[in-house]
């Protein structure tokens, strides 16, 4: 078996499994956020007529998409979540503390776990060697009751990455390039397994970026083998443990893809599809109105640090607005203590409370008719952040910061230090 099959096997009794097989698996955690949790509550109470969740320590609720509450409807949804949590005695309820996936990575995920979440970017947890995937509210409600769910064992694709990372090029550029090559449907219900010396050279923040966007190619899971970097991250979080699996010698993969990132340029995904990807040279000079640094893709401390390194001592262009939202409260506090938040504010940025913010447009930062948004988020669908007559471009923190200085899509490699 390959590592994906091994983890699934461990969660369904230990019998050997193969791709294409339908298995019933036990779950380590079930997460839901305020975008879909109330639907799951309805199904749990009304349709399943369930009394208790399977384990109040393993059902996690997060308020992040509409936090602070941006409407009466959002406030009502949050109150329903709080009520459900109280009724069920849930031990992990996070209100306004950050994006669900960042909180899961900071506080819960361990290698070898199997997790589902009511959010498509749950695949982020593969950065720590867990298998995690997004599911709909019905599946989540069933999992709340049963502690298990069925799924098909996916085929696995090995993506081997070599070379030296160029200046101002990182995981966001690599995953955009991979999605552009695979297309938005090219990895549907498959597991993307990232490996190679260039992956080993990445810190945890960049690994999370890589795993986070696997779903944009349709993937069921993302997976990066836990190494010394991952285990050190877990120790620092006070969360050692988990189970590190490995491929059998005769493990099978559907196919392998190879990338040498030594010559990779910053990448841009242009409207209105994430796989509409090209080198930054194809987009330089396009005027933008708003820029966003944040989201579960690129709202980590290291992302803010990259932007501050470009913006410190400079002012953003008067024609644009720059929104910065740390992915969690812990990241916010660390960035304040190090001076990063101060440097970003002095450059002209507006700092938002940790949450989904302008990635989703649920609490602010929406764009108007004819405006362009350059964002570190993971999706550029028409109308995702405001007017359907606006345009959304995806890029790395370095590109967003460089572009904030000029008011146009700009190559950070051209910005003088």
Read out DSSP for 311-332? HTT----TT-EEEE--SBHHHH
pLDDT score, position 363 = 83
Q: What pLDDT is attached to residue 417?
A: 61
- The CATH code of domain 267-414 reads 3.30.499.10
322, 316 contact by CB (below 8 A):
yes
Ranges of H-type helices in 213-299? 228-236, 295-298
Query: So where are the chain's domains?
Result: 3-259, 267-414
Mean pLDDT by 10-residue block, N- to C-terminus, for the chain (417 residues)? 97 94 98 96 96 98 92 94 97 96 98 97 98 97 98 98 97 98 96 98 98 97 97 94 93 96 98 96 97 97 98 96 97 98 98 91 89 96 92 98 98 86
Could you tell me which of 11, 228, 13 has the C-alpha nearest to residue 131?
A: 11
Check the CA dihedral 74-75-79-82 and report its sign: positive
pLDDT at 401: 98
Burial class (CB in 10 A: 0-12, 13-18, 19+), 305: middle
- The number of residues in the chain equals 417
- Say if CB 124 and CB 211 are below 8 A apart: yes
DSSP assignment letter at 11:
T
What single DSSP character describes residue 126? Answer: G
Residues 395, 205, 59, 144, CA torsion sign: positive
Please say whether the beta carbons of 215 and 123 come within 8 A.
yes
Using CA atoms, how far apart are residues 370 and 92, in angstroms rounded to an integer? 41
pLDDT at 150: 97
Residue 365 CB partners (closer than 8 Å, separation 6+): 290, 292, 323, 352, 357, 358, 385
| Alpha-carbon span 215 to 185, nearest angstrom | 9
**Can you give the pLDDT at residue 336?**
98
Is there a shared CATH topology between the 3-259 domain and the 267-414 domain? yes
Q: Considering the entire predicted model, what is its pTM? A: 0.96
**Which residues does 290 contact at the CB level (< 8 Å), separation at least 6?**
320, 321, 322, 323, 358, 365, 367, 371, 372, 373, 374
Residues 6+ apart with CB under 8 A from 115: 27, 28, 29, 30, 31, 104, 109, 122, 125, 130, 131, 132, 133
- The yes or no reply on domain 3-259 and CATH 3.30.499.10 is yes
């Amino acid at each position: 078996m390959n590592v994906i099959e091994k983890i699934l096997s461990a969660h369904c009794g230990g019998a050997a499994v193969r791709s294409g097989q339908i298995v019933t698996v036990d779950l380590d955690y079930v997460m839901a956020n305020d975008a879909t949790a109330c639907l799951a509550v309805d199904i749990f109470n009304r349709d399943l007529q369930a009394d208790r969740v399977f384990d109040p320590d393993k059902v996690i609720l997060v308020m992040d998409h509409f936090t602070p509450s941006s409407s009466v409807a959002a406030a009502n949804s949050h109150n329903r979540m709080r009520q459900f949590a109280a009724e069920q005695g849930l031990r992990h309820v996070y209100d306004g503390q950050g994006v669900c996936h960042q909180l899961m990575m900071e506080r819960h995920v361990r290698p070898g776990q199997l997790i589902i979440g009511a959010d498509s970017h749950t695949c982020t947890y593969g950065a720590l060697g867990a298998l995690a995937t997004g599911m709909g509210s019905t599946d989540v409600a069933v999992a709340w009751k049963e502690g298990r769910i069925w799924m098909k064992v996916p085929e696995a694709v090995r993506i081997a990455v070599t070379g030296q990372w160029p200046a101002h090029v990182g995981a966001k550029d690599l995953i955009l390039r991979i999605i552009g090559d695979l297309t938005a449907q090219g990895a549907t219900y498959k597991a993307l397994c990232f490996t190679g010396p260039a992956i080993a050279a990445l810190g945890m923040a960049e690994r999370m970026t890589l795993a986070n966007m696997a779903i944009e190619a349709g993937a069921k899971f993302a997976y990066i083998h836990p190494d010394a970097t991952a285990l050190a991250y877990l120790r620092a979080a006070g969360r050692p443990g988990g189970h590190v699996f490995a491929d059998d010698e005769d493990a099978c993969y559907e196919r392998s893809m190879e990338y040498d990132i030594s010559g990779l340029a910053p990448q841009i995904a242009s409207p209105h599809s994430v796989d509409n990807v090209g080198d930054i040279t194809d987009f330089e000079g396009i005027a933008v109105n708003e820029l966003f640094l944040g989201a579960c893709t690129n709202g980590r401390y290291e992302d803010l640090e990259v932007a501050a390194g470009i913006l410190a001592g400079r002012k953003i262009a008067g024609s644009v607005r720059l929104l910065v939202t740390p992915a969690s409260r812990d990241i916010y506090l660390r960035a304040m203590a190090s001076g990063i938040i101060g440097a970003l504010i002095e450059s002209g940025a507006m700092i938002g409370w940790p949450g989904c913010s302008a990635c989703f447009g649920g609490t602010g930062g929406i764009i108007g008719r004819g405006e362009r948004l350059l964002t570190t988020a993971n999706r550029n669908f028409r109308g995702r952040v405001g007017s359907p007559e606006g345009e959304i471009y995806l890029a790395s923190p370095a590109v967003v910061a460089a572009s904030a200085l000029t008011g146009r899509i700009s190559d950070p490699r051209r910005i003088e230090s």
